[in-house]
Structure formats: structure tokens, C-alpha cells
Amino acid sequence: MLALQLPPHLNALEPAVKSELRVPTDVIVGTCILKAGTYLIQCDRENVTFTLKSTKEMIVTLPCRGRIMKDKAKETRADYVAQPSGYIVLERLYLKGSNVEHVF
């Protein structure tokens, strides 16, 4: 899998947000595997942190990157892509109130 190279966005134009996401099955995000469960997700404009809600365990922190969208997301939503290997990858993440299409 090739690493996606995106131009950096101007973090000052991005609001810091917190949201919740239910991950239905084990997925790969960045170089980490998120187990199925509900996660608290926080974007502080520099990093995106995934914390397992049931245990309050911080699972992974990844750089905030992605394209700036015209409007803020109205809901938190994730786009997953199945790989030929059988793994499922979190491809894009939209956080309610954020104007960034987060990619990992």
C-alpha cells in the first residue's frame, strides 16, 4: 500500500473537535488496528486521537491531515475500504463540526 501524500492544510482554519464513533469491526487506521467498539475521537488541529470509550485507553494518535472542505460535517462518519488481503482500512473520517476530511 502506498502512503498518500497530501499537502498540509492550514490548521488555524480548522476547529478543534471531539466526537464519538462506533467502529463495527476491527479496522486498520494508519499503522494501528482499532478493535471493534466505540471510540472517543479528538482532533486538536495537530493530531487525531482515538480513545476506547469503555476503558478510556488511548489507542493511537495520528497527525491531522486531509483536505479542507467547504462546509463543516453535520455528523461523524467513517468511510471504510476492504483490501484484497481481507483487512478493512479506515480511509476517511468526517468529524461533526470539523471542516477537514481526515485521512490516515
Look at residue 94 and tell me if it is in a domain.
yes
Residue 74's Cβ-count burial label (10 Å; 0-12, 13-18, 19+) is exposed
Flag whether pLDDT at 1 surpasses 50: no
The Cα 64–Cα 49 span in angstroms is 9
Look at residue 11 and tell me if it is in a domain.
no
- The two beta strands, 100-103 and 17-23, are unpaired
pLDDT, tens digit (0-9, with 9 covering 90-100), for 55-95: 999 999 999 888 888 899 999 999 999 999 899 999 999 99
pLDDT, tens digit (0-9, with 9 covering 90-100), for 10-50: 555 567 899 999 999 999 999 999 999 999 999 998 899 99
Which residues have CB under 8 Å from 28's CB, separation 6+? Answer: 34, 87, 88, 89, 90
Give the domain range for residue 51.
17-103
- Predicted TM-score (pTM) of the model is 0.84
Look at residue 10 and tell me if it is in a domain.
no
Look at residue 99 and tell me if it is in a domain.
yes
For the chain, what is the domain count? 1
